[in-house]
Structure 1
Amino acid sequence: MCLPAATLALVGTAVSAIGTGVTALQAYSQQKYQQRVAQENAKLEDAAARDALDRGKQQVQQQQRRLSQEMGAQRASLAANGIDVNFGSAADFRGDTAMLGQEDAQTIRENNIREVQGFERQAGNYRSQAAASGQAATGALVGGAFGVANTLLGGAQQYKKLKAGGA
């Protein structure tokens, strides 16, 4: 039993429209997945930035403690040798130690800021990627809907021509 050409055109159109719709839904699902992954990655980068900031504060505190210990040891050593720690070379020596220790602390702060900024930039990149994936997901649905509509309209025109021709 052979189906009329018009019926075959309708079946072909339906199959094609379903295929277009399924493809659009798959593309939508894939983009939504990519969006969720990017959002999670942004959260991880935000957490890494907070952790780096906390670690940086601790490193600065440790540096300041080391500096205080070193300056205390210098003071004790100088005083034990009968040197006035507040005058002349001894005072200069202690001042230099304090200055170098503060420079080290500042270097730690600056390095920490750069590390945190790197995590923040990456988190921003992931958020942008998530937004782009969300837009691509919406585009996949809209494009799929237009593709289904286009397929159905094309099939309807073909059906109309075949019916008019008596097939």
Structure 2
Amino acid sequence: MGVPLAVAGIAGGAIQAFGAVQSGYAKSAAAAYQSQVAANNAKIAQADATLDIQAGEVAAVNRGLKTRAMVGQEKAAQGASGIEVNSGSAVDVRAGTEELGMLDALTIRSDASKKAYAKQVEAVSDTAQSQLAQAESEQDVTAGWISGAGTLLSSASSVGGNWSKYQTMFGS
């Protein structure tokens, strides 16, 4: 009766050890997947940052065109009203419009840069997360093997102890 129990104990330990190793591989695969997702997110965030800068530049250029059109309309309206367009307050009014347009364009560029910076920070964070998940993936395999070996040793010790008790009680 003792031998079948010893075999069952060894088999149970082996199955637990196999499960621990497989669990390590499964955790490793999950972490590797998360690593790739984070790496992809980093690439997307970096691309979004570039697009934000480009969109800001286009918006700033468009704002400059609108400003030039407004200044031209002001000059035409001043001339049609009989105002001397090349001197005095007429020039100052148009200069103020140009300055406000330039300020608007700079604000648009600044906002785009801030938005792009946020995306770049996100990309750095995603890259770090990817590297962390990759390290976790590598460690999970090792942890699975260590856990499996520990289970085998523990089972062997338990079986050995029980076998010793059996021998003491029932003899050889």
Share of identical aligned residues, percent?
Answer: 27
Query: Which one is further off, 132-141 or 18-27?
Result: 132-141
Per-residue CA distance 1:95-123 (angstroms, 9 max, x = gap): 11111111111110111111111211222
The answer for the alignment partner of 1:77 in structure 2 is 77
Partner amino acid, structure 1, of 2:121 = R
CA RMSD of aligned residues (A): 1.9
Find the aligned partners of 2:101 and 2:52 in 1 and give their Cα distance. Answer: 21
Find the aligned partners of 2:3 and 2:66 in 1 and give their Cα distance. Answer: 91
What are the equivalent positions in structure 2 for 1:1-167 lying under 5 Å apart? 3-165=3-165, 166=167
Find the aligned partners of 1:62 and 1:132 in 2 and give their Cα distance. Answer: 43
Other structure's SS at 2:85 match: coil
Q: Which runs of 5+ in 2 are unaligned?
A: none
Find the aligned partners of 1:98 and 1:65 in 2 and give their Cα distance. Answer: 11
Partner amino acid, structure 1, of 2:150 = N
Q: Which runs of 5+ in 1 are unaligned?
A: none
Partner amino acid, structure 2, of 1:102 = M
Partner amino acid, structure 2, of 1:141 = V
TM-score calculated relative to the size of structure 2: 0.88
TM-score calculated relative to the size of structure 1: 0.90
